[in-house]
Structure 1
């Protein structure tokens, strides 16, 4: 599938849409059908790639039936659940379009989100990726529990402080990429940390990002039967920990030197207090000892800052080297490709 770059009629494919899913048998037929209906209105040539991340509820068979009726629909499938990041890496690897959009399969980021992302990235040739964000002016949340909204907003603020502030939405998958860029970058994360990894590496390698506002809505069929938790909500604590750790270790130079400056200011403050006490003939040794202690800590932070800066530079050079050699975003490892109508 990834060897050719045409839509079967000799035309180059302009847009690939990649949607992962896992155990979505209750909604998959309606969701894919609605998405195809939207995409049929596009004026560009396109393909839709849905990636079955090891579903066990019959979702795969439902999508296989849909492939019979739409030659531009592709199903990638494998038996073991590997995580959203692995599914997206497989979808990106097999995509043939010049622009690749990754998104939720149920259009929860807006009925017209594909068109808007594609229009934005094609209107700005200097841009390498476009991120849909409910956190910027003009965006928002609808039918999303307030706790999830709070976690999303606070989490993205923390990530922006610790890792990169290039965009306001770091944790969502709804984005558009230039295939020539995203296919060259080596990605490794299998879980939802993939979203952070993509942004970190794109920013580090000097690629340019844009954002568009959107409204994130939990569809009614996902809210039905409130006594049963939504799949992602049951793992929210795990996601908070994993995303926080990723952002903290991804770019420590952003806060190590800031901590060093803060501790140095404390050292200078205690030194000044000690000097004033000494001039006044009062006990100053404790203030001066604290000044020496905080000064030593500041030197330690600055040393760590130099080390992390050098490590960041080496890491960037390694990424550049791997990019030049060609990014490998996941090998097949038993991935099945289904498009019966096109074969």
Structure 2
């Protein structure tokens, strides 16, 4: 998978200051926050974002979209109590998942730039102008916040959780040839045409990877900025993994999804190790058998060449039956993995072609509907 990455490094990127004139208007920013049962913090989150935008990005028109993903802790009442003209609240009848919340936020957004944020602002609001800067400079269409970037930072996250996430993203990074360091973070900025062009289906956290996969198909440019992940809520560590006695069990579904997406993005990345290991077993095993045969045949040359070959081969196969069985089994598995590889490449190609085709058809249908309404 060859990402269309921005060429400029944004490790020290500073936001540009837009120049207003009579013929143009400041780009509007949509801040999307999917939230579930966050009654304790949602009011402070919305107010902090509003205060930050007004103080740090004066003159910019913006909206805050909170997607209540079926909360049952009274969060809806807290949001209803906020008298803010720039606040939109979208509600799901039941909990549908983070991906569904982001998709709802995308549909409700009207800004030229759409920024998705977590509900507890573990990535502080000062990431917003740095995320938007590459979009305004027209060097990227999607910008990812990356705490696992070489210049990124992780704070107050339980060590096991942090390491599991770090290595999980390492696995996913192999699927994009190491061009991105963090693929699972929801804190991102998008051009409006990106969120309106992509047909997304994932309801869970898989959406983050689905966006990267499909944005690449359309040639959208993807950039990454170093970020600071700081869990403000100290009790969050206790809630993460709730329902399982060991965090690894609670995250098993996410881990499996990461492996699947890695295989989808770049089949060879996951199959390389087993194919290399099996190939080594086959080659080494065959070399051992060949050396054993050559040595035995040489010892029996006094009986004649044909007899030496026959006896040497016979004794090699009898004495090396275990090695031969291991080589044969490894060869069968190797052929199976190779078949998987080519089959996955074919499936990937078919999916990409079908997705592009269906997206084009969908655009034409929407255009026909707009023409009829006009």
Report the TM-score, using the length of structure 1 for normalisation.
0.82
Distance 1:44 1:167, change over 3 A: same
Q: Kindly indicate whether the alpha-carbon contact (under 8 Å) linking 1:131 and 1:176 is maintained by their aligned counterparts in 2.
A: yes
SS in 1 for 2:157: coil
Shift of the alpha carbon at 1:315?
A: 0.7
Task: Note the 1:100-179 alignment, pairs <5 A.
Answer: 100-123=114-137, 125-161=138-174, 165-179=178-192
| Equivalent of 1:248 in 259, 268, 273 | 259
Q: What's the counterpart of residue 9 of structure 2? A: none
8 Å CA contact 1:52, 1:60 repeated in 2: yes
Name the larger-Rg structure: 2
What SS does structure 1 have at the residue aligned with 2:278? helix
Looking at structure 2, the residues matched to 138 and 185 of structure 1 have their Cα atoms a distance apart, in angstroms, of 30
Report the equivalent of 1:62.
78
Comparing 229-238 and 296-305, the one that deviates more: 229-238
1:22–1:289 CA distance, 2 compared to 1 (3 A):
closer
Aligned length, in residue pairs? 310
| Matched residue, 2:8 | none
Shift in Å, 1:322:
2.8
Q: Classify 1:239/1:46 alpha carbon distance in 2 versus 1 (closer, same or farther; 3 Å).
A: farther
Gap change, CA 1:275 and 1:206, over 3 Å in 2: farther
TM-score when normalising by structure 2: 0.76
C-alpha spacing 1:229/1:296, structure 2 compared with 1 (3 Å)? closer
Q: Name the structure 1 match of 2:344.
A: 308
Q: Which residue of 2 is the match for residue 89 of structure 1?
A: 103
The structure 1 residue matched to 2:353, chosen from 294, 297, 317, is 317
* 3-state secondary structure, aligned to 1:111: coil
Unpaired runs of 5+ residues, structure 1, are 1-9, 328-343
Structure with larger RCO (C-alpha < 8 A, sep 6+): 1
2 CA distance for matches of 1:97 and 1:211? 21
Cα distance in 1 for partners of 2:127, 2:360 equals 32
5+ residue gaps, structure 2, are: 1-23, 297-311, 364-374
Distance 1:266 1:202 in 2: 40
SS of aligned partner of 1:167:
coil
User: Is the CA contact 2:172–2:262 (under 8 Å) kept in the aligned structure 1?
Assistant: no
Higher alpha-carbon deviation: 31-40 or 100-109: 100-109
Which residue does 2:303 correspond to in 1?
Answer: none
- Note the aligned Cα RMSD (angstroms): 2.4
